Amino acid sequence: MQEYWELYMKNLEGNPASILFNAGISMDVEKFKYIYPQIAFVKVKLKEPNEKGLISPNEEPEISLLEDKLEASLIKFRIGKYVGRIFSDGYVTFLYYLQFTYNWQDFLDFALDEHATYEMTTAYQDDNEWNYYKNLLYPNAKEWQIIQNHKACDALKLKEDNLHLARAIEHKAYFSDESKKEEVTSKLKEDGFKIQSDISKEGLNGISFYRIDKPFYTDIDELTLSLIDMIEAYGASYDGWETSVVKS
């Protein structure tokens, strides 16, 4: 099993939420849902959240210590897998999928004995389809795109790119129904894009296209999310962007 973690922001019940989740485990959900059929959570009320209801710098060390202690307890009692963490609305919630529940209280007692000053709620319930992981933690297509956008922006910054300078940004789209290709191409041209070439991947045909734009975080988010909306309306799929480094 590959294990790697992704961090992103989303709106959760009208509040901003910072979500950290184990992305690597997604490849093994069909196997793990039979081994770990219960979802469990430890929900902790933050003592001094910031104005958005997220964690403040002053509280980060103690919450990090609490998270580490929970992880150590998980290893000690071998009851399941840690799959994600959510900061939102003045709380942090740690989520686990459990193989066993008979020692859940032992897990809690060991993990939380040094953090009695926090107000907490804990529970577990059946979730053998892993719906909490799929529908709460796992990003939708747009949220995934924002994650990838910001990774690309970070990589450009490391190369001393000036993200505020406009340059050609190339995009790709693939068609499950190639009869829509002409309509998508026409709409892209109306929006100022130039069609570069026909492409193919994994049996699907597509197009690459480009326009002069800025790759700064908010600009590229707005651009790519609008492309996803337009392209998916025609039954096609957006497949990311790339650009060259431009220094000031």
Which whole-number Å values give the CA distances from 115 to 64, 66, 120, in the listed order? Answer: 12, 7, 10
Q: Which amino acid is at 106?
A: D
Give pLDDT, residue 202: 86
Looking at residue 124, its pLDDT comes to 97
209 phi/psi in degrees, rounded to 5: -150, 160
- Quick: pLDDT tens for 136-145: 999 999 999 9
Task: Report the percent of the chain where pLDDT is more than 90.
Answer: 92
| Third-level CATH fold of 5-137 | Alpha-Beta Plaits (3.30.70)
Q: Whose structure tokens read 């499950």?
A: 176
The pTM of the full predicted model, rounded to 2 decimals, is: 0.85
Q: Which pLDDT belongs to residue 179? A: 85
The token pair that represents 105 in the structure block: 């209280």
Inform me whether the pLDDT recorded for 2 exceeds 70. Answer: no
Predicted confidence band of residue 1 (pLDDT cuts 50, 70, 90): low
Nearest residue to 162 via CA among 150, 153, 171, 152: 153
User: Does 5-137 match 141-243 in CATH topology?
Assistant: yes
Task: Kindly indicate the confidence band of residue 177, based on its pLDDT and cuts at 50, 70 and 90.
Answer: confident
Domain ranges of the chain: 5-137, 141-243
The mean pLDDT value for 163-191 works out to 94
CA distance 68 to 94: 11
Domain 141-243 has CATH 1.10.1520.10: no
pLDDT above 70 (res 236): yes
